[in-house]
Amino acid sequence: MSISAYDPNNIFAKILKGDIPSVKLYEDADTLAFMDVMPQAPGHLLVIPKQGSRNLLDADPAVLVKLMPVVQKLARAAKEAFDADGVFVAQFNEPAAGQTVFHLHFHVIPRHDGLPLKPHSGGMEDIEVLKANAEKIKAVL
């Protein structure tokens, strides 16, 4: 199996360095969670490890051990904050699978019965809407 190299100049690495702004939800020594700028539903957020890996395929299992409890914590919070019926957790590996940003990330998206998701990487959301949705999630964290 060949694995492509990690590019330390990817957009999420820039968010981690503070070179690009993001609407943050949660941060600890190993993990950052922030709002997706092109949400597929209100409350769509991303959870990333601070240690760089391209995706799940090259990630250090020790990083995953620290990451997954945060994914769970944010999934629970997003579901409650949006009074959702369910919560979708997704993670794509390589372009053929839909990956567009090459720093490991988990999507967390509240889902409501009968409401379809907007397209992946669709339109940019208004920053004030993202901030308001982030406040709802942080209120239950």
Q: Which residues are catalytic?
A: 105
22 binds ligand 5GP (CB under 6 A): yes
Torsion of Cα atoms, 27 then 31 then 33 then 38, to 10°:
140
Backbone phi and psi for residue 134, each to the nearest 5 degrees, phi listed first: -65, -40
10 binds ligand 5GP (CB under 6 A): no
> Given candidates 60, 65, 85, 100, which one binds ligand 5GP under the rule CB under 6 A?
100
> Per CB under 6 A, which region of 24-32, 61-69, 71-79, 99-107 contacts ligand 5GP?
99-107
For the four alpha carbons of 42, 17, 99 and 123, in that order, the dihedral sign comes to positive
56 binds ligand 5GP (CB under 6 A): no
> Per CB under 6 A, which region of 25-33, 66-74, 96-104, 108-116 contacts ligand 5GP?
96-104
133 binds ligand 5GP (CB under 6 A): no
92 binds ligand 5GP (CB under 6 A): yes
Positions that interact with ligand 5GP (CB under 6 A)? 11, 20, 22, 34-38, 92, 98-101, 121
